[in-house]
Amino acid sequence: METCSPFIEVNEAIREMGGEDLNNCMQCGLCTGSCPWRLVDGDFSVRQMIRLAQLGLEGYESDDVLYGCTTCGVCVQRCPREVAIIDIMRSVRSMIMETGAIPKPLQAVVGSIHSNRNPWGEDAEKRVAWQKELEVPVFDGTQEYFLFVCCTSAYDRRSQQIARSMVKILRAVGVSFGIIGNEESCCGESVRKIGAEEAFQTLAAKNLGLWGEKGVQKIITTSPHCFYTIREEYPGEDSPVQVQHYTQVLASLLAEGRIALEEPIEAMVTYHDPCYLGRHSGVYDPPRSLLTSIPGVEFVEMDRNRENSLCCGGGGGRVWMETKAEQRFSDLRIQEALDAGARILATACPYCITMLEDSRKTTGAEDKIEVLDVSEIVVRAMGL
Amino acid sequence: MIREIPRVGVYVCHCGANIAAKVDVEEVARFASKLDFVESARDYKFMCSDPGQQLVVDDIREKGLNRIVVASCSPRMHEKTFRKACQKAGLNPYYFQMACIREHDAWVTEDPGEATDKAKELVQGAVSRVLHHESLVPRTVDINPNVLVIGGGIAGMQAALTIADAGKTVYLVEREPCIGGNMAKFDKTFPTLDCAACILTPKMVAVGQHENIELLTYSEVVDVEGFVGNFKATVRKKPRYVDMDKCTGCGVCNEKCPAKAISEFDQGLSKRKAIYSPFPQAVPNTPVIDRDMCIYFKKGKCRACEKFCEADAIDFDQQEEKITLDVGAIIVATGFKPFDPSVAERYGYGKYPEVYTSLEFERVNNATGPTEGQIRLKDGRVPETMAIIHCVGSRDKNHNAYCSRVCCMYSMKYAHLIREKTGANVYEFYIDIRSPGKGYEEFYNRVQSEGVQFIRGNVAGVTDKAIGEDEKGKLIVLAEDSLSGRFLRVPVDAVVLSVGLEAAEGAEAVARMVGISQDQDGWFNELHPKLAPQATPSDGIFLAGCCQGPKDIPDTVSTANGAAAEALSLIMREKVEVEAAVSSIDAERCMGCRQCETICMFDAIEYDSALNVCVVNEAICKGCGLCASTCPNKAIGVRHFGNEQILSEMEGVML
Amino acid sequence: MSGKRKKIVAFLCNWCTYTAADLAGTSRLKYEPDIRILRVMCSSRVDPVFILKALMDGADGVLVGGCELGDCHYQRGNYYARRKVAVAKKIAADMGLDPERIRLSWISASDGPRFAEVVNEFTREIEEKGDTPVKHEAYV
Ligand SMILES: Cc1cc2nc3c(=O)[nH]c(=O)nc-3n(C[C@H](O)[C@H](O)[C@H](O)COP(=O)(O)OP(=O)(O)OC[C@H]3O[C@@H](n4cnc5c(N)ncnc54)[C@H](O)[C@@H]3O)c2cc1C
Ligand code: FES
């Protein structure tokens, strides 16, 4: 057995950099036992990582351990000591970030953030290319909403459908909205989770500056990640900016009778709660109310739903990293949706769409089930 | 009366580091020494200690001090202590004032400089107040020698017996149809494994038969008035519909009753009748009729019990009754209720029939329980493997942050019983084993050597989703074994949830009624957690058993005896000093407007029509001060809380 | 927190709010240090004159604390207190004093956190109002 001495300076550093709760952990193991990694073959153990970090022993910082966490939040929700485990992850990752020893794919992400203001290595000047013929109005302070399109929905072809669907819906309903343009930047949520705290702060400042300048007061986001970070992590306690995830906006429009879902969709539909919309933000009902209001839809829940939803595997920077085939949570999720008898697996997050679409293809479920964003389904049901 | 010139002594307490770590006590003493009329000012490590008090006594005698100010903890804590010290030195105890620089300053202020400044002002307030103090003679009133005990669990029973054995009258009020509390539901008790009924039944019988105990079951205290030595309690006796004097407890009514209901006593695991005794050895053994379930009450006919009762004891016309009791002391022993695990979904309670709470499992083990003491699954099979999950609802900030203290031990009791009765394999899922107590660690070791497996891991879930063949038809317990760092799936036949303890239903109402407080978790607060664990800040109210926090039976019984001793020590005094701080009316200034008479909440003020003035009856006055603040002529003063005293303190703290 | 501390006088009833203040202490809750606590047996003891005198003597704020309505140790004292404080506010306003510098709160004995919260809230409000003008205008 290896003989070690505790390196308490590391413990202190982690606590100073945002992992204040580190010492509150009593090592009960509920986190490790509840972690989605237990459903696949993998060594990642939250408890063990925290233990090593408490004592400053080597091992907590290895790629497989430290970057395995998807920040899904199950452990945080359950932790009997209310340890903000994700903050500890973030803090340790920030320390590693400072040494530069972060996993390769994440280095590319950070680089792209600096040069392109998006994590995808895409041209900042092509940010609004997704709109193609849609000619979305430019936000100039006269519209009610600013539609904040997630970098993923801006650049990823599949994900662009979410942004485009939103434009169609809002336009059809007559909501006044606009996008700012290529000056927009990434919200920074996942960037922060991989430990790039400075980059995050810069992005937040940039965004807040730009929104202030344009007179933004109400924001609709396409991604739960942007929604969460703007609401919970952006500086300024009484920010004048009010942010909503699009499912919330659409659900209220539906309740007000401004959206008519009249085209039937004859199918069994299930809904996958994105971690950052559900567990992290407590938004469970709006997407469900949209789906269940569509004629023909037979709504079923998967075994794990709402607070217990299973992570798609894309959070915490994992969306940019390679995950071995046998370790993909999204594969399990596709299976769960099939087990529930669903023909459509609905969700409301660009990352989830990416991960689940991948799994649908790689597990050969292409003919069995469709993966759709709630916005896309609403477009269908409105007959747009 | 010639007023002597005040010679004030000021004492600033360090309270170890409690005050001194924040407040510069020497600086405060130095500051105090410069105030008008202050003869001497000093700081000292522990003012409430004997040498600390002696300091005051000696200074009064040697330096001729006639006013004392102690700056230390809250007056609710030690005012009496220092008043006594003054008295010992021959100074009227009311020439004393306390400045609270611990609870209201050192412990709540971030910055030491600010804490010191605040302490100075508080001391200054106390000094300027004490200059206006007057010598008062405490009044004494007779103490009623009867004691009221609320709650008839083992705590309330023990306290009642101890007091009754001393020859004093006890009223024991229990809201259930019979006494015994939670302990009556158990089979065996850790760590000695003696049978609960064997040790409890004789006690219950003793309580039932004791000539000095008046047992009021199926009753609740609904109001308490008065003060130490002279409480008046109103008790509501719910109708049993069975005449206790006539009933012989033969049980025929129960046999003949056609209406069934869920047995609360068996935790819902069995049925009882509409006329029932919770369990065979119940004390008193007079049954009650459950009005909601009784066919006669619901539909207007049946009366089967009445037909068969030879003693003619059934009385459908019984009405609720209210009685008042005069007592000198009250012991609160309302116990606990188990945590409801259905709020923590992951344990599958309520979803899987083979997931039991510990209290349910006590009934399963009990010879008078639903399975007559045999450990059987719902389908009658003998379990081959069982899991016991510790800390359900305890040590968890999502539910109760505290440790419930008894669950580790009773869990191991179950492990032993399961091994003994069925030979099944037992897994105990724990976070830490807490076995401090006589014979407790030894019991832990014994259970280990009996083959019980201990897994250190907080359970992540219980599921029936089998993966392998060996999991089919089982419940699978999921947890990390944090010692080996492996994730375990443990297939078992049944799961016992070791639920924690929570304050009893209705504890809040009891607290309000008797004027005591609850901590953030709902447990009653004691006067001092270490040195006055059975007393409360309300004189004459004492605590026993689990109502003040989770405890095992030995500790419950000790606290019950402690509370009984305190109650006895109070009532044996026969007389009690009560606050001299009551109102008085200056007849010179009173214009007879009678406003005070109208508003007084205790009818303590009378109008003397001959003199056209109002007069305070000091024996009744409680000293709230409402009349003083209402009197338009400022003719009413409250002793010790007079305008001058309050306003001079106010000026002092604002300087 | 910056600048000079304010003078806030608190009259707390012995049975509830004073006990809550003790509990805040035993629970080591930190709160703003501007407050000076005076003990009265019941909130109904607080004569409007006390409140007005405090303000005229230069207090920046006056807090009166009693038991929750219905819980007064003397049964209904706090209902009277409520009226007395209302009267004090009215007179204060008539005298040109700011009635918002007077606050009445019901805090039960077991609610240490609420006490700390009320103190912080009230201190903040008083901070925002700034120093009482009384001492500058030299009231007589
Ligand atoms: C599952 C389990 C197993 C345990 N096993 C053991 C063991 O093996 N050994 C051991 O030492 N300890 C054991 N304990 C602990 C033991 O139960 C307690 O120490 C003991 O029961 C406390 O007694 P009590 O009288 O304080 O409270 P309780 O037993 O709760 O009695 C309180 C009584 O007050 C009554 N009451 C409540 N409110 C009112 C009211 N407002 N008016 C009138 N009456 C009221 C209740 O009806 C009840 O009868 C166990 C606890 C649990 C939960
Ligand atoms: S005793 Fe608290 S308000 Fe009357």
Q: Which of C 80-109 lie inside 8 A of B, CB atoms? A: 80, 84, 108-109
Position A343 in a domain: yes
Q: How far apart are CA A305 and CA A293, in angstroms?
A: 19
Residue C19 touches partner B, C-beta closer than 8 Å: yes
Q: For residue B154, which atom of ligand 1 is closest to its CA?
A: 25
C9 Cβ below 6 A of ligand 2: no
Contact call for A82 and B398, based on CB within 8 A: yes
ipTM of this complex prediction, to 2 decimal places: 0.95
DSSP state letters, B516-563: --B-TTSPBPPSBTTTBSSB-SSTTEEE-GGGGS---HHHHHHHHHHH
B504 Cβ below 6 A of ligand 1: yes
Indicate if the pLDDT at residue B206 is higher than 90: yes
Expressed in angstroms and rounded, the spacing between residue B526 Cα and the centre of ligand 2 is 20
- Dump pLDDT digits (tens) for A13-42: 999 999 999 999 999 999 999 999 999 988
Q: Which residue has the tokens 């010992």?
A: B88
Under a CB-based contact definition with an 8 Å cutoff, are residues B358 and B496 in contact?
yes
Please tell me whether the overall predicted TM-score, pTM, comes out greater than 0.90 for this model: no
Task: Determine whether domain B579-639 maps to CATH 3.50.30.30.
Answer: no
Same domain? For A15 and A64 the reply is yes
- Dump pLDDT digits (tens) for C18-30: 999 999 999 999 9
Indicate if the pLDDT at residue A119 is higher than 90: yes
Same domain? For A265 and A344 the reply is yes
For chain C, which chains pass the contact test of at least 3 CB pairs under 8 Å?
B
Least confident of A33-42, B201-210, B523-532, C85-94: B523-532
Tell me how close the Cα of A49 comes to any Cα of chain B, in angstroms. Answer: 11
Q: Which domain holds residue A278?
A: 259-382
Q: Taking all residues of chain B, what is their mean pLDDT, rounded to a whole number? A: 95
Under a CB-based contact definition with an 8 Å cutoff, are residues A350 and A150 in contact?
yes
Under a CB-based contact definition with an 8 Å cutoff, are residues B258 and B302 in contact?
yes
The predicted model gives B25-41 an average pLDDT of 96
The predicted model gives A81-109 an average pLDDT of 94
How far apart, in Å, are the Cα atoms of B410 and each of A325, B339, B480? 46, 15, 23
Residues of B in contact with C53 (CB under 8 A): 647, 650
Q: Which two tokens stand for residue B274?
A: 């509409």
Judged by 3 or more CB pairs under 8 A, whether C touches A is no
Position A294 in a domain: yes
Peptide bond into B191 cis (omega under 30): yes
Nearest neighbour of B626 by CB, restricted to C9, C26, C44 = C44
Structural domains of chain C ordered from first start: 8-129 (3.40.50)
CATH number (domain holding residue A35): 1.10.1060.10
B396 Cβ below 6 A of ligand 1: no
For chain B, which chains pass the contact test of at least 3 CB pairs under 8 Å?
A, C
Same domain? For A244 and A279 the reply is no
C73 Cβ below 6 A of ligand 2: yes
Nearest neighbour of C38 by CB, restricted to B515, B629, B650 = B650
Q: For residue B221, which atom of ligand 1 is closest to its CA?
A: 42
Expressed in angstroms and rounded, the spacing between residue C104 Cα and the centre of ligand 2 is 12
Under DSSP, is residue B481 helix (H, G, I), strand (E, B) or coil? strand
Which of A253, A270, A295 marks a domain boundary?
Answer: A253
Contact call for B397 and A29, based on CB within 8 A: no
At residue B44, the pLDDT reads: 96
The predicted model gives B226-238 an average pLDDT of 93
Architecture of domain B139-238+320-335+506-575: 3-Layer(bba) Sandwich (3.50)
At residue B537, the pLDDT reads: 77
Which of A213, A231, A253 marks a domain boundary?
Answer: A253
Residue C63 touches partner B, C-beta closer than 8 Å: no
Task: Specify the domain boundaries for CATH 3.50.50.60 within chain B.
Answer: 139-238+320-335+506-575, 339-502
Which of A223, A253, A283 marks a domain boundary?
Answer: A253
Burial class (CB in 10 A: 0-12, 13-18, 19+), A367: exposed
Residues in chain C: 140
- Dump pLDDT digits (tens) for B397-416: 999 999 999 999 999 999 99
- Dump pLDDT digits (tens) for A149-164: 999 999 999 999 999 9
At residue A51, the pLDDT reads: 95
Beta strands in B54-94 (DSSP E): 67-72
CATH number (domain holding residue A181): 3.40.50
pLDDT band at C128 (very low <50, low <70, confident <90, very high): very high
Position A21 in a domain: yes
Same domain? For A301 and A374 the reply is yes
pLDDT band at C1 (very low <50, low <70, confident <90, very high): very low
Indicate if the pLDDT at residue C3 is higher than 80: no
Which has the higher per-residue pLDDT, A238 or B57?
A: B57
Q: How far apart are CA B505 and CA B356, in angstroms?
A: 21
Same domain? For A139 and A244 the reply is yes
Q: Which two tokens stand for residue B418?
A: 């399961």
Q: Which two tokens stand for residue A165?
A: 């669907």
Expressed in angstroms and rounded, the spacing between residue B218 Cα and the centre of ligand 1 is 17
How far apart, in Å, are the Cα atoms of B451 and each of A285, B358, B413, B421, B528? 49, 21, 13, 14, 43
- Dump pLDDT digits (tens) for A337-372: 999 999 999 999 999 999 999 999 999 999 999 999
Strand partners, B602: none
Nearest neighbour of B487 by CB, restricted to A28, A38, A82 = A38
Indicate if the pLDDT at residue B347 is higher than 90: yes
DSSP state letters, B373-414: T----TTSPPPSEEEEEEEETSS-TTS--S--SSHHHHHHHH
Under a CB-based contact definition with an 8 Å cutoff, are residues B119 and B102 in contact?
no
- Dump pLDDT digits (tens) for C33-91: 999 999 999 999 999 999 999 999 999 999 999 999 988 888 889 999 999 999 999 99
Q: How far apart are the first and last CA of chain C?
A: 32
Position A128 in a domain: no
Pairing of strands B275-276, B271-273: unpaired
> In this structure, which ligand is nearest to the CA of B194?
1
Contact call for C19 and B630, based on CB within 8 A: no
Contact call for A308 and B460, based on CB within 8 A: no
Nearest neighbour of C59 by CB, restricted to B100, B515, B654 = B654
Position A72 in a domain: yes
Same domain? For A291 and A354 the reply is yes
Residues of B in contact with A308 (CB under 8 A): 345
Q: Name every residue whose Cβ is closer than 8 Å to that of residue C79 and which is 6 or more positions away in sequence.
A: C69, C72
pLDDT band at A260 (very low <50, low <70, confident <90, very high): very high
Please tell me the CATH superfamily of domain B339-502, with its number.
FAD/NAD(P)-binding domain (3.50.50.60)
Burial class (CB in 10 A: 0-12, 13-18, 19+), B320: exposed
Same domain? For A290 and A240 the reply is no
Burial class (CB in 10 A: 0-12, 13-18, 19+), B311: middle
The predicted model gives B116-142 an average pLDDT of 93
Fold of B8-136: Rossmann fold (3.40.50)
Position A170 in a domain: yes
DSSP state letters, C37-94: EEEESSGGG--HHHHHHHHHTT-SEEEEEEPPTT-BTTBSHHHHHHHHHHHHHHHHHH
Q: How far apart are CA B105 and CA C37, in angstroms?
A: 10
Q: How far apart are CA B371 and CA B366, in angstroms?
A: 8
The predicted model gives C87-113 an average pLDDT of 94
Under DSSP, is residue A237 helix (H, G, I), strand (E, B) or coil? coil
Contact call for A80 and B485, based on CB within 8 A: no
CA angle B505–B508–B509, rounded 5-degree value: 95
Indicate if the pLDDT at residue A228 is higher than 50: yes
CATH number (domain holding residue A278): 3.40.50.10700
Position A69 in a domain: yes
Pairing of strands C61-66, C8-13: parallel
Q: Name every residue whose Cβ is closer than 8 Å to that of residue A1 and which is 6 or more positions away in sequence.
A: none
Tell me how close the Cα of C136 comes to any Cα of chain B, in angstroms. Answer: 16
Indicate if the pLDDT at residue B594 is higher than 90: yes
Position A125 in a domain: no
Separation of CA C91 from chain center: 17
Same domain? For A141 and A231 the reply is yes
Q: How far apart are CA C118 and CA C138, in angstroms?
A: 30
* Residues in A lying within 8 Å of B, measured between beta carbons: 26-30, 32-34, 38, 45, 47-48, 78-82, 303, 308
